[in-house]
Structure formats: C-alpha cells, structure tokens
Amino acid sequence: MDFFTLLAEERIKKAYEEGEFKKLPGMGKPLKLDDFSHVPEELRMGYRMLKNANMLDEEVELKKEMMRIEDLIRTCYDQEEREKLKEEWTEKQLKLDRIFEKRKGLNTPASAFYKEKVYEKLLKRS
C-alpha cells in the first residue's frame, strides 16, 4: 500500500473509534442499491451516470421488460404464444425508440453507429 492509502485508512479508523460515523444521515438504514444486473458489466458505469442524471427510469424498466420477454420467447414452445410475445417485445422496442427520439441523442451519425451496436448486443440474447 502506498502512503496515502495508509493515511486514509488510519483516519477512517480514528473517525470510527471516535463515533464520527454515527452522526451520518441514514446510519443504520439499508442502502438503496441500483439493480443493473441486466446490464453488461462494461456498460454499468454509464447507466449509473445516466440514472443519476434522471434519464433512465423508464428506459431501464422497458429494457428489463424486454429482456424478460426475450427469456420467455426462448423458452416458449407454443408458436402462437411466441408470436404474441414477439409483438409485445416489438411494442416495447417502439416505445423505447420514441424515448430516444424525444432525447434526440441518437440522431447524430456517431450515435446511430452506437445505437446499432447496442441493438445488436441486446438482440444477441434472443
């Protein structure tokens, strides 16, 4: 360990022993953890930043639903039910596209390239 890590550890131990952490708001309450388990690990930091900017709530829910539907499609044996699930997935995808259109963030050429990459990655799961 380097000097700064040791110094930080020492100060944290001292503050803990003096009871400084007992004064913090939320002490003793469970943490609210973000569930980004459905997002690939390399994209989680970006998702966290978008969530902190209040830009992901509806999008994350839609993607979770889409992934759930993809899982159902993979395990569905009834062709009629599979078609209904595919229609539902398409509706969710269109809704997600409308969200992106409202943001106008994917209208640049560079963004369109990454949009295609993201869609390819999401569709690989099905």
Question: Residue 42's pLDDT is what?
Answer: 86
Residue 39 has pLDDT above 70, yes or no: yes
CB 92, CB 62: distance < 8 Å = yes
Question: Residue 98's pLDDT is what?
Answer: 84
d(CA 61, CA 82): 21
Q: How many CB atoms lie within 10 A of CB 118?
A: 13
Question: Residue 13's pLDDT is what?
Answer: 93
Question: Residue 61's pLDDT is what?
Answer: 81
The tens digit of pLDDT for each residue in 3-25 reads 888 899 999 999 989 988 888 88
Q: What is the pTM of this model?
A: 0.45
Domain boundaries, the chain: 3-124
DSSP track, 29-91? SPP-----TTS-GGGHHHHHHHHHTT--HHHHHHHHHHHHHHHHHHH---HHHHHHHHHHHHH
22's tokens: 């007992």
d(CA 54, CA 22): 30
Question: Residue 84's pLDDT is what?
Answer: 92
The tens digit of pLDDT for each residue in 51-107 reads 777 766 777 788 888 889 999 999 988 999 999 999 999 999 998 888 777 766 556
CA of residue 69 relative to chain centroid, distance: 17
